[in-house]
Amino acid sequence: MSDTLLIIEDEQLLGSELVRHYRRAPWDVVWAKTFKDARRLLLVRGLDPLVVLSDVNLPDGNGLDLLDEVRQHGGCGEWVFLTGYGEVPDSVRAIRLGAFDFLTKPCEQDRLDLVVNGAARGARAQRRLQYESENRSRRYAPNSFIGNSHAARTVRELLLKLTQVPFSALIITGETGTGKGLAARILHHAGPRAEGPLIEVNCAALPRELLESELLGHEAGAFTGAKGRRRGLIEQAHGGTVFLDEIGEMPVDLQAKLLKVIEERSLRRLGGEREIQVDVQVLAATNKKLEEQIQNDRFRADLYHRLSVFKLELPPLRERMADIKELLPMFVAEFNSIAGKKVSEIPDAVWERLQGHSWPGNVRELRNVVERCVLFATDQRFPLDWLQLGSIVSAGDVQGAGVQGNRLCLPLDGSIGLDDMVGRIIETMLVRQGNNVAETSRVLKTTREKVRYRIEKYNIKVSE
């Protein structure tokens, strides 16, 4: 499909020659001979040309006024002006309005082609950036945090509220794989700073000696090997967001410098002599208990309190097991598209295994499981054999070899995790007490509410 070139020219001879020339290029050429016709095409009919080649002085208006009006209505594309009167005020105004170039007649065709082709490249780049921005906004909307459980709805509602306010800093907490990176991208791309850059930094992945230089930048000669000036990642995030993942791994001495950057909105490059003003929104994520690290002098209390203007805690998957029914089809569709598969049938045995697993790796683990199963699927059925989830808690297991008289034997070889152990204990006691929750809570010296909570948490089936 050819790109659209709009020619706005009242001279019959020049206009017809330009139309004939650019249709051979090839362009989809539209010719407007008056200001009124061009305005109707652009603002009424919604024509969206890649490039506009326009005269300045038209019989019924001024091309610069039309550009000004189109820009106010959000029109894009590049504009190139041709005029027989190359006056300086007009050229200055054209540049201020964002015109690509301002040429005087007569203009050699080779030069005009060069300018139009350059304008086309610039317009295509603008459209690509606009498309990517809109695509990111759709992909990282608050409803991208999938799930219909109470825990997921609570997180989604908080994300929606946070994207509507210009907060300065926030801490995202949660176990590995719960979606801290997704939450950070939602907060940026759906928030007020969506037009600015999002710079992501994994504090655990960078060596300690390089982290400060990466964050703050350096001047030439600041240290051995620093041959030139380098802008740091925080400086590159100016006007946008910096996402500090695994902030609990940041050295304490660098934490003090980060606090200064957040407090004073300025930084000094390594080896630099002047302060550089920066305007950034700081998102920090961790799977560690920062309160415990503060007590052990591994994290600064003042930085923690400065970052925790808001605190977003993401629940582990075992506390939102009902969400697997929404997450699984989404991941299946994703990997169907990538691998060219057509997996659509999920057997009941697969659902039972998924619901019985404790998911220590959370949503990331579920995604990896789905990827493996879809890639190795041979037909439309989701393969049970490739789940590879290990043992699950079931009534059959509880009644089996694990129970010896009045004792429950649990393996300590790492074959089952803590959650599976707790689930087995609860389920064993329920079976022993005839599924009487009140009696089970009495024997375990706890409350009925806590027992019911764990029955739901570990997806334990209670017979009537």
Q: Say which residues have a Cβ less than 8 Å from residue 401's Cβ, sequence separation at least 6.
A: 409
Q: Are 144 and 167 in contact (CB under 8 A)?
A: no
Cβ atoms < 10 Å from Cβ of 196: 17
Mode of pairing for the β-strands spanning 78-83 and 101-104: parallel
Please report, in angstroms and rounded to a whole number, the separation of the first and last CA atoms in the chain: 66
Distance in angstroms (rounded) separating the CA atoms of residues 60 and 58: 6
Using alpha carbons, select from 338, 348, 394, 392 the residue that is nearest to residue 370.
338
pLDDT at residue 373, rounded to an integer:
94
Residues of the chain falling short of pLDDT 70? 1-2, 86, 133-137, 390-406, 412-416, 463-464
Distance in angstroms (rounded) separating the CA atoms of residues 364 and 375: 17
pLDDT at residue 188, rounded to an integer:
94
Mode of pairing for the β-strands spanning 276-277 and 266-267: antiparallel
Ranges of H-type helices in 48-106: 63-72, 88-96
Distance in angstroms (rounded) separating the CA atoms of residues 19 and 285: 57
Gyration radius (Cα) of the chain, Å: 31
DSSP H/E element including 304: helix 301-307
Distance in angstroms (rounded) separating the CA atoms of residues 37 and 6: 11
Using alpha carbons, select from 367, 312, 335, 343 the residue that is nearest to residue 159.
312
pLDDT digits (tens, 9 = 90+) for 407-453: 777 776 566 677 778 888 888 888 877 788 888 888 888 888 788 87
CA distances from 11 to 4, 34, 78 (A): 21, 10, 22
CA atoms within 13 A on the CB side of 40: 8
Complete domains list, the chain, with CATH: 4-136 (3.40.50.2300), 140-313 (3.40.50.300), 318-375 (1.10.8.60), 395-457 (no CATH)
Distance in angstroms (rounded) separating the CA atoms of residues 270 and 217: 6
Give 149's DSSP letter.
S
pTM, entire model: 0.64
pLDDT at residue 133, rounded to an integer:
64
Report cis status (omega within 30 of 0) of the bond before 207: no
pLDDT at residue 186, rounded to an integer:
95
pLDDT at residue 225, rounded to an integer:
76
